[in-house]
Chain A
C-alpha cells in the first residue's frame, strides 16, 4: 500500500460528541520533579475524553514520555493528581496497580517484544499473565493478529519480522485485553514511512472502534495528515492544545 492510497482510507472525522464527552484521563496541576531538581512536568492540566485521539508533540525532553508514563502508572506526580475517570491513580493500592494497568495498552518505539517467543506467544502472554483459560487464548489471539494483518506469521519469531511487523505484534499485544486507552510512545520512531503509515492507520482504526488513543510523536508528517487534537509540549509545559492541529513547535 502506498502512502498516497492509504491517505484515502483514513477516516477523518470530527468528534461529534464533544458536548457529552466523558473525561477518561485528567491531569490536575501535575508536576514531576526528579531528584536533582530536574523539572520534567510543570503544572500540567489536561483532560482527555473517552474516544479521543490525542497527539502529544514536542522535542526530546519536553516531558511527553513522563506524561504518558503517568497514564499507565509507571511514574507518579510529585504534586498534583492524575485521574482515570473519577479515580485518582495515586490512590490505587500498589497491589492493585497491575489490575489498573489492564485498562491501558502500551506501545513503544522499541516494541518490547520477547525475542524468544513467537508472535502468537508474545500476544498470548498478555492474556496468560491474567490467568485467562487456554481456550480463550486460542480463540482471541488469532483474531487480534488478523486485525493487525499478521495471521500468517503467528509462528514467526520477532527477529524474522520487519520493524513495522514487530510494532504490529506489539500493538496486537496492547489490544488483546481490550484496554480503554492505548498509550503509544513514539511507536513509529524506528519505522520507515510505509510502516509508519500502516501503524497510524491501525491506531486510527482502533480509535474508530472507541478506544482512546494517546500518541506521542516527533513525526510532523503524520500529525499534519491525521488532523486530530494536538497537544504541544515544551520543557514540561503545555504550550498549545489545538482540536485539529498541525505540527508546529
Chain B
C-alpha cells in the first residue's frame, strides 16, 4: 500500500467522520448552527439596512432641489439666459425650466380636488394662469444648496425672481449630508461590533462542542492518530456548520425581507424595499455569508481543538 492511497483513505475517513460528528451530535450541531445563523443574519441584516438607508438617502438627495419662481412679467428668454448662467456653475448638476403652462398642467395632474380644479378652469377661461414659471435646480451635493440659495437671492436677480423655495426644505437639506455620514459610520461600527461578537460566540460554541468530544481526542491520540487526522474531522465539521448556517441565514433573510417589505414600503421613499435589495444583492450576500460562515466555523474549530493536540 503506498502513501498516496493511505492519504486518500484518511481524507475520505476524516470527511466521513466530520459529517458523522455533525449529524450525530444533533443538539450540539443545532446549537452551533443556530448561533452562527443568528450572527450571520445580524451581519447580513446590518449590511442590508445600511445599504437600504444609503439608497433611501440617495433617493431623498436626488429629490431635493431648489425652485426659483419668476414673476409673470419676466420674459421666457430672460429665464433661459439665467438657466444658462446657472448651468455653468460647477456645483449645479441640473437646471430644468418649467414654464407657466407646464406648471399648470403638472399642477392639474397632481391635484384631484374638484374645488381647486374648477377654480383653475375659471382662470383658464379668462386666459389667465395663476402659476409662475420656475427653474428647478439640483446641486451636485447637498451642502451646496445653501450657496445656491444665496446666489439666487443676489440683487441682480431681484427683479426676476419672486421666490426661492429653499427655506421650506432647508431643514432637510441642512441635515442630509450629516445623516448620511452618521448612518454609514453607525452601520459600519455596528457591523464590525456584530462581526466581533459573532466570532466570539461562534468560537465559544465550537469550543463547547470540542470540549464535549475531548475524550475522543484523547483516544485518538492514544491509538496513534496524527494531529492532522484528529484535526481534519473538526475542520470539516466547522465547514459544515458554516454551510448550514449560511443556508439558514439566506432563508431567514428571504423570509424577513419579504414580510418586512410591505411594512417598510409605507415609510420608504420611492420603491426601495429590503426584499428588492436582498434579491438584487443575493449573489453578493450568498457568497459573503458562505465565505464568512465557513471561515468562522473552520477557524473556530482549528483554534478550539488546539488545546487537545498537546501531542
Contacts and interface: CB of A to CB of B under 8 A. Distances in A.
A131 B224 contact: no
A156 interface: no
A102 B224 contact: yes
The dominant DSSP class at the B interface is: helix
Interface residues of A, number: 24
Contacts of A114: 215-216, 219
B215 A112 contact: yes
B218 interface: yes
B6 interface: yes
Contacts of B226: 95, 98-99, 129
User: Looking at chain B, what size class is its interface with the partner chain?
Assistant: 20 to 34
Contacts of B311: 94, 97-98
Question: Ordered nearest first, which 5 A-B pairs have the shortest CB separation?
Answer: A129-B225, A131-B6, A126-B223, A102-B224, A101-B224
A99 B6 CA distance: 14
B24 A128 contact: no
B216 A98 contact: no
Contact of B224 (A74, A95, A98): A98
Nearest to A132: B9
Given A97-B311, A112-B218, A114-B216, A129 B24 contact: no
A98 B227 contact: yes
A125 B229 CA distance: 12
A131 B223 contact: no
A133 interface: yes
Given A98-B311, A99-B224, A132-B9, 16 more contacts: A98-B224, A98-B225, A98-B226, A98-B227, A99-B226, A101-B224, A112-B219, A125-B223, A126-B223, A129-B10, A129-B220, A129-B224, A130-B224, A131-B13, A133-B5, A177-B223
A153 B10 CA distance: 27
Interface in B212-249: 215-216, 218-227, 229
A95 B311 CA distance: 8
A116 interface: yes
Interface in A149-194: 173, 177
Contacts of B10: 129, 131
B221 A101 contact: yes
Nearest to A99: B224
Nearest to B25: A116
Interface string A109-138: 000111010000000011011111100000
Interface string B189-210: 0000000000000000000000
